Amino acid sequence: MSEEEYAALKDDIKEHGLLEPIWLAKDGKLIDGRHRVKACQELKISIGKDLIQETDLETEEDIVNTVLSLNLKRRHLDESQRAMIGAELATQLPGKPKKVIAQNCGIKQPQIAAQLNVSTRSIQSARQVIKQGTEELKRAVRAGSIPVSGAAALSAVSPAQQRKVVVQIEQGEVKTAKDALRQMKLKEQIKAIEKTKPPRGTYQVLVVDPAWKYEKNREHDDTQRGRTDYPPMTETQIASLGIPAAEDCILWLWVTNAHLVTGEASRVLQAWGFEPKTMLTWVKNKMGTGDWLRGKTEHAILAVRGKPKMKPPIPPTVFEAPVGKPSEKPDAFYQLVEKHCPGKKCEMFARKVRKGWTQVGSDLGGIK
């Protein structure tokens, strides 16, 4: 019980007396009612024989089953709270912190999950919280203020960050642990971006995949599909980027359907001093997000400065390739560029290292 729950129990016993019986195992050990006994002792209230339920329970399995049944009937617990109970049962018994139930009396994690009406995945998440979470985080899950799935993800960050998020959620500053973790990640990425220096020299081939910004209402709204996992940039910020282009340069500018139709991509290219020529469309193997239409395509505008050349044969305006990690572009695109666009190559906002390219991106920790 939390301190508040125990205080409420104690007040109730003080006003109405002890109503729920105390349960004992066959050997006389207390198996249910620890808080009630403690409250009676502190209030100096004697426990009558009629409120002591003696049983013939002696195996740990029978005791656990009985305690589970009693507590689940007595308390209204959500799935995360039940998962925490299950996780604690799956790892230890009171008084025997190093003994695993599955080894001692044959109770398996799936059996506990079935008894508690929770998924084994929820119990696994709860075990992670118990193992890596701070006391504040465990308390929040037991109190029902943070779902166990979000708490499991949160348990991977530092204790100080865990405590900070628990306070933020309890005070209503953020809605979920997921949202808090996303904000942490964005702040870390912003710091990495600020430390990243631009590449030296100029390049005949550039690939740029800017962090296009969506509507303002998306930023802290979990219900919006267009939320990004990177710090978004305004059109003005993108247009102000220093582009290391040679006098004769081919530039591939990645753009989503939404930013293509609004004209943002064209205005950015104009600010960079490039003339758009045509567009390559990536047809994905999976349906993506979207408000009016769900996206299954993404585009790379081919723009030029000066008089660059492309190697024949001229590729088509469309290619098909599977979706990888968020914002990651397929190998088929890079192979097309390498085949048809001669010269030194540079990718800005890169997600992974590619041999033969100069790449810049916060995910890469600078220039690669």
pLDDT of residue 154: 92
In this structure, the chain runs to a length of 368
DSSP state, residue 46: P
Task: Give me the mean pLDDT over the 283-298 stretch.
Answer: 88
- Whose structure tokens read 């209402």? 217
Q: What CATH number corresponds to the domain at position 85?
A: 1.10.10.2830
Contact 284, 323 (CB under 8 A): yes
Task: Tell me if 21 is assigned to some domain.
Answer: no
Domain membership of residue 346 as a residue range: 196-367
pLDDT of residue 72: 65
**pLDDT above 70: percentage of residues in the chain:** 82
φ, ψ dihedrals at 255, nearest 5°: -150, 145
| Whether 143 and 94 share a structural domain | yes
348 strand-pairing partners? 208, 360
- Taking only the tens place, the pLDDT of each residue in 11-40 is 999 999 998 889 998 888 888 888 899 999
Residues 151, 142, 63, 71, CA torsion sign: negative
| Whether 334 and 220 share a structural domain | yes
Cα atoms found within 13 Å of the Cα of residue 23, Cβ hemisphere only: 18
Q: How confident is the model at residue 287 (pLDDT cuts 50, 70, 90)?
A: confident
| Whether 222 and 362 share a structural domain | yes
Q: How many CB atoms lie within 10 A of CB 195?
A: 10
pLDDT at 337 over 70: yes
Which is higher by pLDDT, 58 or 363? 58
pLDDT of residue 87: 80
| Whether 268 and 319 share a structural domain | yes
Q: How confident is the model at residue 357 (pLDDT cuts 50, 70, 90)?
A: very high
- Taking only the tens place, the pLDDT of each residue in 86-144 is 787 766 444 443 333 333 334 456 667 777 778 888 888 998 999 999 999 998 998 88
d(C-alpha 19, C-alpha 5), whole Å: 16
- With 0-12 / 13-18 / 19 or more C-beta atoms within 10 angstroms meaning exposed / middle / buried, residue 20 is middle
d(C-alpha 47, C-alpha 10), whole Å: 14
Task: Tell me if 271 is assigned to some domain.
Answer: yes
Task: Tell me if 49 is assigned to some domain.
Answer: no
pLDDT at 348 over 70: yes
Task: Tell me if 230 is assigned to some domain.
Answer: yes
181, 214, 246 - which closes a domain: 181
Find the DSSP H helices in 133-176. Answer: 135-143, 148-154, 159-170
- CA 333 distance to own-chain centroid: 29
pLDDT of residue 95: 43
Task: Tell me if 94 is assigned to some domain.
Answer: yes
**pLDDT above 90: percentage of residues in the chain:** 42
Task: Tell me if 32 is assigned to some domain.
Answer: no
Task: Give me the mean pLDDT over the 188-212 stretch.
Answer: 80
| Whether 162 and 134 share a structural domain | yes
| Whether 170 and 200 share a structural domain | no
What CA–CA distances, in Å, run from 177 to 11, 92, 168, 169? 33, 27, 9, 7
pLDDT of residue 228: 52
Closest CA to 306 of 208, 238, 204, 200: 204
pLDDT at 193 over 70: no
Task: Tell me if 13 is assigned to some domain.
Answer: no
Which is higher by pLDDT, 196 or 315? 315
| Whether 214 and 343 share a structural domain | yes
pLDDT of residue 291: 77
| Whether 243 and 332 share a structural domain | yes
Query: Can you give the three-state secondary structure of 274-303, one letter per residue?
Result: CEEEEEEEEEECCCCCCCCCCCCEEEEEEE
pLDDT at 206 over 80: yes
How do beta strands 203-208 and 345-348 pair?
parallel
pLDDT of residue 216: 47
- Taking only the tens place, the pLDDT of each residue in 42-72 is 999 999 989 999 999 888 778 777 777 776 6
pLDDT of residue 273: 96
| Whether 242 and 98 share a structural domain | no
| Whether 203 and 128 share a structural domain | no
Task: Tell me if 44 is assigned to some domain.
Answer: no
Which is higher by pLDDT, 9 or 276? 276
| Whether 222 and 124 share a structural domain | no
What CA–CA distances, in Å, run from 334 to 32, 48, 252? 65, 80, 11
138, 158, 181 - which closes a domain: 181
d(C-alpha 68, C-alpha 46), whole Å: 26
| Whether 169 and 268 share a structural domain | no
Which is higher by pLDDT, 6 or 103? 6
> Residue 161 has which token pair?
């960050």
The total of structural domains in the chain comes to: 2
- Taking only the tens place, the pLDDT of each residue in 212-252 is 887 544 444 444 444 455 577 888 988 988 899 999 999 99
Is the previous residue joined to 313 through a cis bond, with omega within 30 degrees of 0?
Answer: yes
Task: Give me the mean pLDDT over the 302-325 stretch.
Answer: 94
- CA 260 distance to own-chain centroid: 29
